[in-house]
Amino acid sequence: MVTKVKKNTTEYVKLTLDKGKFFKFEKDNKLGQELLKYLTRQNYYDILNPDPCDSTKNTISKLFVWLAVIETEINKPFDEITSDDFFGFIERFSHDDIIISNGKPRKKHLIKRYVSEFKRLMRIDKTFKLNNDIPVDSKKYNWIENLKAPKVKTTYEKYPYLSVEEMKLLADSLLPNHEYKIRCLLSLNLMARKCEASSLTFNDLEFREDGIFVQLPDIKKYSSDKVAVQLYSFVERDLQLYLKLKNIKGNELLFPSSDVNFANRLRKVSKELFNQSINPKTLRKLGVCLAEQLGKGRDDVERIGGWSANSLALNHYFNRKGVSNGEASKIADNKLNSNIVEEMEKLRIENLKMRQQMNDFNKALALMEKI
> Within 13 Å, how many C-alpha atoms sit on residue 255's CB side?
25
**323 inside domain:** no
241 close to 187: Cβ distance less than 8 angstroms: no
Tell whether the model's pLDDT for residue 113 goes beyond 80. yes
pLDDT score of 58 more than 80: no
**Domain enclosing residue 280, as ranges:** 164-317
Question: How confident is the prediction for the chain on average, in pLDDT?
Answer: 82
Report the pLDDT averaged over residues 227-253. Answer: 92
Lowest mean pLDDT among 29-33, 74-78, 121-125, 141-145: 141-145
Do 308 and 201 belong together in one domain?
A: yes
**Amino acid 292: pLDDT:** 82
Summarize pLDDT for 18-32 with one digit per residue, the tens: 999 999 999 999 999
Burial bucket for residue 28 (CB in 10 Å: 0-12, 13-18, 19+)? buried
Both 174 and 288 in a single domain?
yes
Please report the pLDDT score of residue 293 as a whole number. Answer: 84
DSSP H helices in 215-325? 233-246, 259-274, 280-293, 298-305, 312-317
- Confidence band, pLDDT 50/70/90 cuts, at residue 329: very low
365 or 229, greater pLDDT: 229
- Per DSSP, the three-state class of 314 is helix
CATH number, domain with residue 221: 1.10.443.10
Based on the domain organization, do 109 and 214 belong to the same domain?
Answer: no
Domain presence at residue 340: no
Rounded CA Rg of the chain: 32
Predicted local distance difference test score (pLDDT) of residue 314: 65
How high is the pLDDT of residue 271?
Answer: 92
Q: How many domains are contained in the chain?
A: 2
Confidence of residue 352 (pLDDT cuts 50, 70, 90): confident
